[in-house]
A and B are shown apart, each in its own frame.
Chain A
C-alpha cells in the first residue's frame, strides 16, 4: 500500500516556489513578516535549509502573496521565475535531450516541481494533450491563480528548451479574465477560455525537437542525485481522483475500501484536504466523458455505458450540468 501525501505532510522544499515568492516580495518592498503572517511559516524556517513545508503552508503563502502583490501580473512573474531555479530537479529538465524527455521528467518530478496540479496525457492525431486538475483542495480563485503560475512556468520552460518558437495551445475552464492582456503577453497567441476543461496542447512533432542546452553528462549527474532522494509519489486527492477515473462505477464504500479505510474516516480525510466526494466523482466523470467523446470519438451510448449511467437522457443531463454543453455540442466545437 502506498502512502499518499496529505495537506499537512511536510515534504516541499523551500527551493522553487517559496524562495521565488520571498524574493519577489522583497524586490517590491513588502516586508517578510507581512508575507508570512498567518501562513504557519516562520522566518527561521526559511533559513534552515533542511526544513520542509507542507502543501497547506504553501497554499496559504500563495494566497498571502497574491493579496500583498496587488498587481494582476504577480502570478505570471512568479511562474516565469520558477524555471530559473537551480535545484537538481530543474536541472534534470534543462539538460534533457529533447522536449519528449523534458515532459517525461516533468511527469516524474511533478510532486517536487508542481505539487498543486496533476496531469493526464494523451496523444491523438499528431497532438499531445495534457489535461490538468488540482491535486489539492483549492478555492476557485486560487486555482485560477495556480494555473496562471504553472502555465507561465510551462511556457517559459518550452521557450527555454526548444529551438524554434514553441506553439502551445492553452485552454482554460474559467471565463475570460479582466487581465487578459497578461495572458496574451505571457502565454503566446493561442489561448481560449470557457472550455469544458483545462488543458495544454502541443504538436507531437515538437516532442522530438532537440533541446539546445542539452547535455547528456549533466543530465545523468542530475539523475543520479535524484536517485538518492526520497521522492514522494502523489497527494491523497490525486490518488482518489485517479482511482475514480479508472473505476467510474465506484461508490463511497468501495473507494474507502480500496484505500483501506472506513467510509467515515475516508470522508473525514477528504474533508481535511478540502474536497467533497461527490464533487470528485463529478469531476472525474466529466474528464472521462470528455476524453471518450473527443479523443476517442465514442458515441453517447458507449460513453453512458462506460460511465455506468442507466440511460442516455440521464447522461446528457449530467454532462450538461458538468460542462454547460450537451455531448453533441462538445463534439461540434
Chain B
C-alpha cells in the first residue's frame, strides 16, 4: 500500500515546503549577488546534490510510511538537515553580511535534524521489533520482499528453497510438510477466481494459526502450501499435519452467494531435510511425493466406488 502525502501527511508536507522556501527567502532577503567569477560550480554541484537527495528521502518516507511518531521524527529530522543544506547551497550565489545569528541559523538545524533522525530511527527499531513478531510463522531469518505472493501474503517457493538452504547450513534437523487442497480447480471453476483467491487467503490464515511460532508457512504453487518445521521430530511433524488436516476439515468456508458452507479436504506429505538427501530442491522432491500420494488416493477412491 502506498500513501498519498498530500492527504495522509498534510502537516508534514506543509512543514517541509515552508522550510525550503524560508531558507530561500532568508538568503535572498539578506544576501547580495556574487560576481560570475566568484561562483564555484563544483561546490554548487556537490551541495545541490545533497539538497536533492534529502528531498528524495523525504518523498520516499512520506509515500511509504503511515502517519506515526517514527515518520514525524524522521521527516522533520531530514527536513532540518535539508534546510541547512539549502542555505549552504544558496551561499554559493549570494554573499551574506557577517550576521552572527545568520551563521547560527545556517549551522544549528543540521545537528538538531540529525538528533531527531536518530531518535526517529530508535523508535523505528522498536516498531520493527513489534512488526517482526507479527511476521513470525510467515518468514524465517531472511527478508526478500520480492518473493511474497500477492494473493496470500505468504512467501513463494523460491524463498522456501533459500530458507531451507540456510537452515540446513546450521545443521538443525528439519521437516518439511506439504498441504494440498483436494479438487481446488473444481472450486475455482464452480465459484470463480475471486472466491478461489479468498479461499486461499483464508486457508493460509488457518495454516498460520495451526503452526508453532518457529514454523514458516509458504505458498508453493497453486493450491499447494508448505510448512518448514525446524528442530522437529518426526512424531511432532506428523502430529502437526494431522492437526492441520483436522482444522481444515471442520472449517466451514462460506462461499459468497451460496447458502451451503464448503468444507475442504487436504492431502499432506512430509519429508525430512538433512544434508544427505538434500539435492538442490527438497521442495520438488516433497511435491512429487505429494502428487504420487494424490494419485494413489484417486485410485483408491475409484476402487472403493466400483
* Inter-chain contact B185/A80, CB cutoff 8 Å: yes
Contact residues in A for B224 (Cβ distance below 8 Å): 181, 185
* Inter-chain contact A77/B287, CB cutoff 8 Å: no
Which range contains the number of B residues in contact with the other chain? 20 to 34
Contact residues in A for B158 (Cβ distance below 8 Å): 178
Given the known inter-chain contacts A73-B221, A81-B189, A182-B221, please indicate yes or no for A189 contacting B284, CB distance below 8 A.
no
* Inter-chain contact B288/A27, CB cutoff 8 Å: no
B212-244 interface mask toward A, CB cutoff 8 Å, 1 = contact, 0 = none?
A: 000000001111100000000000000000000
For window 172-226 of B, CB contacts with A under 8 Å fall at 185, 188-189, 192-194, 197, 220-224
* Inter-chain contact B302/A27, CB cutoff 8 Å: no
* Inter-chain contact A23/B192, CB cutoff 8 Å: yes
The residue from A76, A156, A164, A184 contacting B288, defined by CB atoms under 8 A apart: A184
CA–CA, A59 and B205, complex, Å: 37
How many residues of chain A get a CB closer than 8 Å to chain B's CBs? 26
Given the known inter-chain contacts A165-B295, A165-B299, please indicate yes or no for A185 contacting B189, CB distance below 8 A.
no
CA–CA, A163 and B301, complex, Å: 11
Given the known inter-chain contacts A164-B299, A184-B287, please indicate yes or no for A73 contacting B222, CB distance below 8 A.
yes
A181-201 interface mask toward B, CB cutoff 8 Å, 1 = contact, 0 = none?
A: 110111011000000000000
The residue from B157, B189, B193, B223 contacting A24, defined by CB atoms under 8 A apart: B193
Given the known inter-chain contacts A80-B185, A165-B299, A189-B288, please indicate yes or no for A184 contacting B221, CB distance below 8 A.
yes
Chain A: which residue is nearest B291 at the CB level?
Answer: A189
* Inter-chain contact B188/A165, CB cutoff 8 Å: no
Q: Does A70 contact B (CB under 8 A)?
A: yes
The residue from A84, A178, A184, A186 contacting B189, defined by CB atoms under 8 A apart: A84
* Inter-chain contact A189/B292, CB cutoff 8 Å: yes
The residue from A24, A156, A164, A184 contacting B291, defined by CB atoms under 8 A apart: A184
Given the known inter-chain contacts A71-B150, A178-B158, A181-B157, please indicate yes or no for A77 contacting B193, CB distance below 8 A.
yes
Contact residues in B for A185 (Cβ distance below 8 Å): 220-224, 287
- Interface, chain A (partner B; CB < 8 A): 23-24, 27-28, 70-71, 73, 76-77, 80-81, 84, 156, 163-165, 178-182, 184-186, 188-189
- Interface, chain B (partner A; CB < 8 A): 149-151, 157-158, 185, 188-189, 192-194, 197, 220-224, 283-284, 287-288, 291-292, 295, 298-299, 302
